[in-house]
Structures are given as structure tokens and as C-alpha cells.
Amino acid sequence: MEHKSIPLNERIIFALDVDSKEEAKKWVDLLGNHINFYKVGLQLFLAEWFPVIEMITTRGHKVMVDLKFFDVPETVKLAIRQLKNRNITFATVHGNDPILRAAVEEKSGVKILSVTVLTSYGEEDMDEMGFSGTIEDLVFSRAKRALKLGCDGVISSGLEAPRLRDALGDSFLIVTPGIRPGKNIEIPEDDQKRIITAQDAIINGADYVVVGRPIRKAKDPVAVVKSMQNEIQKGLAL
């Protein structure tokens, strides 16, 4: 499989799921020589708003704003507009065609990633969601529509990535959460169901992996980062 030319220190997007700008800064200080891409999600965004994004970008790092915008199209459009001129690289949107279309129309330099199915969902959750097919079918359907509408890529488990690549090509981004250092590793209160290693995610077609708890909970976070980057290099070589 042909892989995109992406620097190794950007392949891991570190999830800054922390409570304050000060704690986020500590992690950026610790990992900044190894990781150049950071995710700011709801927890940190609501605590510190845009100052934390400025703190990251002024250091030359990239930011993924993972707010999973989901609202009436006009509201989503106006929300995406607020991200302009803030050096934000990725923003996530979750919703139907009109919502995705509104985000794409307003993106202006920010790459829009469509959320397919959260990695905390398993096949047993499909009935509760009102779907009769498999998660893979739903991910594929949502990804196909998102790309047709002009989204730059999708958020997808690495388990569904092979089908996306085989059927939809290589011209879009796949960003994969649910990354674990090993398939049998246990993380307290782990709510992820569709997990995969960084190496397997890259082999399956992912461009980036989003990693949070396996790094934050580690005794030696930098060692975990280096280990995962080694996995990614091996995956890229195959």
C-alpha cells in the first residue's frame, strides 16, 4: 500500500484530554520533541477555550479540534467559521449530509474530518442505534457520503480502514483513535471496544493515529511514544 508523505512526529496525534491549559502545557513540554500534533477535545476546550490552542500553535505544533460538531447546519457553519485564522489543522464534524455540507462550505483552510462510528461502539450497540447492518457497513456508507460532500477525511477505527482504502482510494485522510500498545493491554475504565495497535492501523491504511490514555497513564510516556513511532515505521515499511 502506498503511504502519504507525513513526518513521523505527526503520525501520532496526542489527545490532550486534561482539565487545564497548565496541564496541557506540561504534556506539550514533555512530548514536544517527539510529537508535533495534538488533539484538543471537549474537556480541554471548554476549560480553556482558544488560549490553549494558541499555546500549542505558537510553538509550531499542529492542532486537531475534536468537538464533533453536531447541530443544525447553520449553527455548524457558524461554529466552523470561528476556527478560521487560528492555525487549526483538523476539525471533526458528526452528522448527516446537510451538516457535513455546511462545514465543508465554511472550512477555509481547516480540514474537515467526518466522524463515522465512535470506537466505543461494538456490534452489540447497533440495535440500540437502530441499524440492522454491521459497523463496517455503516462506517463505509458514512465515509463514502462524507467524501462525496467534500470532507477531507474521516475518523474511523483501524478495523474498518482496509475496506475504506480498497473501495475509496488513497486521496483522503483516515485518522484512527482506539489505539492501544498491545491488543491485550488493560487500561482502567477503558471504554474503547474497537481497538488496534498503531502498527496495524497504519498497515490497514490509517494516516494518523490518535492516542491519549496509553501515553498519559504510562510510567514513561516518552518511551511509549517512541515505541509506537517504531511500530508506525514498521507499518509504513510494509
| Residue among 68, 111, 144, 193 flagged as catalytic | 68
CA neighbor of 211 nearest in space, from 56, 33, 31, 57 = 31
In degrees, rounded to 5, the angle at the alpha carbon of residue 219 between the alpha carbons of residues 215 and 222 is 50
Determine whether 68 is an active site residue.
yes
For the chain, 238 residues long, give each residue's pLDDT as a single digit of tens: 668 899 999 999 999 999 999 999 999 999 999 999 999 988 888 887 789 999 999 999 999 999 999 999 999 999 999 899 999 999 999 999 999 999 999 998 999 999 999 888 877 877 887 788 899 999 999 999 999 999 999 999 999 999 999 999 999 999 999 998 864 445 656 667 788 999 999 999 999 999 999 999 899 999 999 999 999 999 999 8
Q: What is the pTM of this model?
A: 0.91
What residue ranges define each of the domains in the chain, with the CATH number in brackets?
A: 8-237 (3.20.20.70)
